[in-house]
């Protein structure tokens, strides 16, 4: 896609975020746009970054590594953050640590411990979020809601990691297998917010920065903002439909 149309689409997404925030009585400045770049080539991602994007998310380690050289200057300058937003296997953490600034998909203590050990050895701090499967759909990764608070408290206490908040993917199907309605999607987002609030209120070691709620994508970002999203992750509305 030509970079001019990426810039146009980005402007449209930003105005959608603004409208959703104002409608919810929130300051639009509280909602950050993460551009989800899966399947997009390095030129398209670079075009988005040139158009002002300062936070991107990748789902696959292989794509993270392939596009890293095209983004390295911005990352080194501190003007671009790169988050891992896909399921992360422990045997891939070295590649993730060398190419990203944060991991939104911590869903198990073993993974958090492995990241922590590596960060301590490298004398660095990694931003992490706990991914929660609020919808309970078994196709989605993330810790079950009932285990999210204890996992977050354990992660927060690990050296080398900074717990910045929580991430989820909104419900797609309802309990009967039909497309989820707005109420079901919102209820899931509200659940993530309640988990975040409980962790912040705990005052437990390492929880003071756990403010972020990364939730909402192209189809449901308005609902997520209404429920308190501080980061929305958008791909399709920026780049157009992905090739299958």
Question: Considering the rule CB under 6 A, would residue 149 count as an interface residue with ligand PLP?
Answer: no
Residue 51 is a binding residue for ligand PLP (CB under 6 A): no
Q: How many residues bind ligand PLP (CB under 6 A)?
A: 13
Q: Which residue is nearest to ligand PLP (CB)?
A: 235
Lay out the site mask for ligand PLP across 166-185 (x = CB under 6 A, - = otherwise): ---x----------------
- Residue (of 72, 129, 135) closest to 104 by Cα position: 129
Q: Which long-range contacts (CB under 8 A, 24 or more apart) does 238-244 make?
A: 238/6, 238/9, 238/10, 238/13, 238/35, 238/36, 238/48, 239/1, 239/6, 239/9, 239/37, 239/40, 239/44, 239/48, 240/1, 240/9, 242/38, 242/39, 243/39
Q: Would you count residue 229 as binding ligand PLP (CB under 6 A)? A: no
Distance (Å, rounded) from C-alpha 226 to C-alpha 115? Answer: 33
Tokens standing for residue 174:
């309802």
Q: Which of 14, 32, 38, 92 binds ligand PLP (CB under 6 A)?
A: 38
Residue 91 C-beta: closest distance to ligand PLP, Å: 21
Stretch that binds ligand PLP, among 89-97, 170-178, 186-194, 234-242 (CB under 6 A): 234-242
* Stretch of residues binding ligand PLP (CB under 6 A), selected from 90-98, 153-161, 201-209, 211-219: 211-219
What distance in Å separates the CA atoms of residue 129 and residue 41, rounded to the nearest whole number? 26
With contact defined as beta carbons under 8 Å apart, do 145 and 111 qualify? no
Interface region with ligand PLP, contact rule CB under 6 A, candidates 40-48, 137-145, 174-182, 233-241: 233-241
Give the footprint of ligand PLP on this chain (CB under 6 A): 36, 38, 59, 85, 169, 217-219, 233-237
């Amino acid at each position: 896609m030509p970079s001019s149309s990426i810039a146009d689409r980005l402007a449209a997404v930003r105005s959608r975020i603004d409208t959703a925030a104002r409608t919810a009585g929130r300051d639009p400045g509280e909602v950050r746009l993460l551009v989800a770049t899966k399947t997009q080539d390095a030129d398209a991602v670079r075009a988005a970054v040139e158009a002002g994007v300062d936070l991107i998310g990748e789902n696959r380690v292989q794509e993270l590594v392939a596009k890293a050289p095209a983004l390295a200057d911005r990352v080194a300058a501190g003007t671009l953050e790169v988050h891992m937003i896909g399921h992360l296997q422990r045997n891939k953490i070295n590649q993730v640590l060398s190419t990203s600034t944060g991991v939104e998909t911590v869903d198990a203590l073993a993974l958090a411990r492995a990241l922590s050990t590596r960060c301590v050895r490298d004398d660095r701090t990694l931003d992490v979020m706990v991914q929660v499967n609020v919808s309970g759909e078994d196709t989605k990764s993330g810790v079950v809601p009932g285990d999210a608070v204890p996992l977050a408290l354990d992660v927060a206490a690990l050296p080398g990691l900074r717990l910045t908040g929580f991430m989820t993917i909104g419900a797609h199907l309802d309990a009967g297998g039909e497309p989820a309605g707005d109420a079901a999607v919102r209820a899931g987002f509200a659940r993530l917010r309640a988990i975040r609030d409980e962790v912040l209120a705990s005052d437990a070691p390492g929880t003071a920065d756990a403010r972020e709620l990364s939730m909402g994508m192209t189809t449901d970002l308005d609902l997520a903002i209404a429920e308190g999203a501080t980061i929305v992750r958008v791909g399709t509305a920026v780049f157009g439909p992905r090739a299958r």
